[in-house]
Amino acid sequence: MPRIPMMAGNWKMHKTADEAVDLAAALRENLGPPAGREVMIAPPFTALAAVARALTGSGIHLGAQNMYPEDSGAFTGEISPAMLRDARCSHVILGHSERRHIFGETDDLVARKVAKALASELTPVLCVGETLPEREDDRATEVVSHQLRAALKGLTKSEALRIIVAYEPVWAIGTGRTATPATAQEMHATIRRLLRDLFTDAMAAQVRILYGGSVKPDNISALMAEADIDGALVGGASLKAEDFIQIVQYK
């Protein structure tokens, strides 16, 4: 089964609810039902419910940017999977490098989040990626493999199949410095090999691996031409309808 390309927008800490609805409506109007592509947008929590209403019937998926792996309780400032489902999210971005590096999320916490998201019928978009010093030390493969193994530990094949992986080299996020298609492809192939080793060939062939890191309308086509790049997780360029639409409609 061919892997359907997926373009996901991570809006980070941008946009009030009204601004988010305007952007979602512009995407909906100009994209139409995305044919042959899957599209997901992840606005801030405060805009989720309003954006869900704006997207009804559009075929565009709604995602959250984070989640705490408990049903409810004394976890001030956190949000549960049930709350995300209630806001009509189908996806959740987990282990984003900003969560790992600014907020100190560990591999163990990310693994608990992935397992809880799966148990809650949310599709995790699991982010992995090395920092610049790690790449310069020739440790990129080791770091990414470690993050991936940790996040998948204990999952069955059918659970792991429901995950979307996003390879996001930290040095390329928000810096304007994109990995070359060849560099990205090399890591995507490594990730797919690891999935093969941990599960099966057929499973590894089905999992989508997105690239993230300064994806723009002018570099998406070259990235998507690579065999193991199945889509993109887009930050900055997903905040402008025109740019994100061009990315989704790459040739």
Catalytic residues: 96, 168
Q: What 3-state DSSP class applies to 162? A: coil
Q: Site map for ligand PEP, 8-47, x if CB under 6 A? A: --x-x-----------------------------------
Measured between alpha carbons, how far is 100 from 151 in angstroms, rounded to an integer?
A: 13
Nearest approach in angstroms of CB 239 to ligand PEP is 9
173 vs 204, which CB is nearer to ligand PEP?
173
Query: Binders of ligand PEP among 143-182, rule CB under 6 A?
Result: 168, 173-174
**Burial zone of 131 (CB within 10 Å; 0-12 exposed, 13-18 middle, 19+ buried):** middle
Which residue's beta carbon is nearest to the bound ligand PEP? 235
Measured between alpha carbons, how far is 212 from 123 in angstroms, rounded to an integer?
A: 18
Q: What 3-state DSSP class applies to 234? A: strand
Look at residues 146, 235, 147, 135 and name the one whose alpha carbon lies nearest to residue 186: 135
84 vs 128, which CB is nearer to ligand PEP?
128
213 binds ligand PEP (CB under 6 A): yes
214 binds ligand PEP (CB under 6 A): yes
Nearest approach in angstroms of CB 225 to ligand PEP is 19
In this structure, what token pair is assigned to residue 211? 């690239």
